[in-house]
Amino acid sequence: MKPNDSKQFDLHPVDPRRLATLCGQFDEHLKMVEKRLNVTIGRRGHHFRVQGEPDHVAAAVEVIRHLYRETEATDDISPDTVHLFIRETGLERLPEDVPYDEGAVTVIKTPKLTAKPRGRNQQKYVHNIRTHDINFGIGPAGTGKTWLAVACAVEALREEQVKRILLVRPAVEAGEKLGFLPGDLAQKVDPYLRPLYDALYEMLGFDQVTRLIEKSVIEIAPLAFMRGRTLNNAFIILDESQNTTREQMKMFLTRIGFGSTAVITGDTTQVDLPRGQHSGLIHAASVLGKVPGIGFTRFDARDVVRHPLVQRIVEAYDAFDDGGMPTP
């Protein structure tokens, strides 16, 4: 293991505007350098101190100096620019799984309630959401996948870890046809997004949710609206993802930008896609299952937190699908 090094330096000329541009809102640019180069950055005014392995410290110092030179000509440095400078160092740290501490007490705090995940899988799920940029929650209905993801999103927004929340669902009918519903496309898919609204109302209150939607801090949209976008500094939840196609899933995953967290939830036993189309969730679980930095949590009937009969229903269907007969 390489020894730690420490480097102190000043940025000149001293210019508060340029320093603010360099650091980014809530120091987001410095945090990106810290995370991606595995260093610690301290700052007091124009005086900086970087700590870490010697080669990473040297790289971080060079990135900060390069970025400061950029501020001479612009008042806005994008996360993409920071990313490119970090990539050029050749020392970018690959994502690593953060060990899960089973003895830790996990609590999610939202303005209207405090949630405590139940059982090992729910606690591991929340741990993964907090430590992975992309996280999959796969399992039957009633296991808290969507509700806990929304709670984590609200908590992240409240703590200013993200600037906005995007809640996304594929507009695939479970036996019904969208064309027979009244209104435009947004109104047609609104019923499919209702569970997401309900979770938000429970955690933030109706008035607050309405205000945040009006300000576009919270956006609720069908998956088709995501094409062509890059989503930075956002908490994005793709719900009912078993009803995405392979192409849609890839499109969604490649929308995720810097400073964002994505949670993809779904139940692989309830695919409503037309016959012959393959589920993007099932495909993604196979393709991405061993990719570093992507978390997977798999729930089963024991994790159901709805009416006790729901757990028995899930178990009965599982037994039938496995070729056995449900226990009377």
Question: pLDDT digit string (tens) for 215-245?
Answer: 999 998 888 888 888 788 899 999 999 999 9
Which of the four pLDDT bands, split at 50, 70 and 90, describes residue 20? Answer: very high
Distance of alpha carbon 63 from alpha carbon 22, whole angstroms = 10
In angstroms, rounded to a whole number, what is the distance separating the alpha carbons of residues 210 and 313? 36
**Residue 96 pLDDT > 90:** no
State the pLDDT at residue 326: 46
Which amino acid, residue 34?
E
Instruction: Cite the residue boundaries of each domain of the chain with CATH code 3.30.1370.10.
Output: 5-89
CATH topology assigned to domain 108-321: Rossmann fold (3.40.50)
Strands, E assignment, the chain: 5-10, 40-44, 47-52, 108-109, 114-115, 134-138, 164-169, 218-222, 234-238, 261-266, 294-298
**pLDDT top residue among 310 and 3:** 310
**What's the average model confidence in pLDDT over 105-127?**
88
CA neighbor of 33 nearest in space, from 58, 16, 9: 58
Segment 42-54, tens digit of pLDDT: 999 999 999 999 9
Q: Which two tokens stand for residue 23?
A: 């650091």
User: Residue 153: pLDDT above 70?
Assistant: yes
pLDDT beyond 70 at 1: no
Residue closest to 158 by CA, chosen among 122, 206, 108: 108
% of the chain residues with pLDDT over 90: 48
Q: Give residue 125's pLDDT.
A: 94
Mean pLDDT for the stretch of residues 136-148? 92
Termini Cα distance of the chain:
59
CATH class of 5-89: alpha beta
Could you tell me the pLDDT band of residue 267, with boundaries at 50, 70 and 90?
A: very high
pLDDT at position 277 is 87
Per the prediction, the chain carries an average pLDDT of: 85
User: Where are the domain boundaries for CATH 3.40.50.300 in the chain?
Assistant: 108-321
**Are 224 and 171 within 8 A, CB to CB?**
yes
Is the per-residue pLDDT at 60 higher than 90? yes
d(CA 263, CA 217): 18
User: Do the beta carbons of residue 126 and residue 152 sit within 8 Å?
Assistant: yes
pTM of the model: 0.75
Q: Binning pLDDT at 50, 70 and 90, where does residue 175 land?
A: very low
* Cα gap 59→94, rounded to integer Å: 16
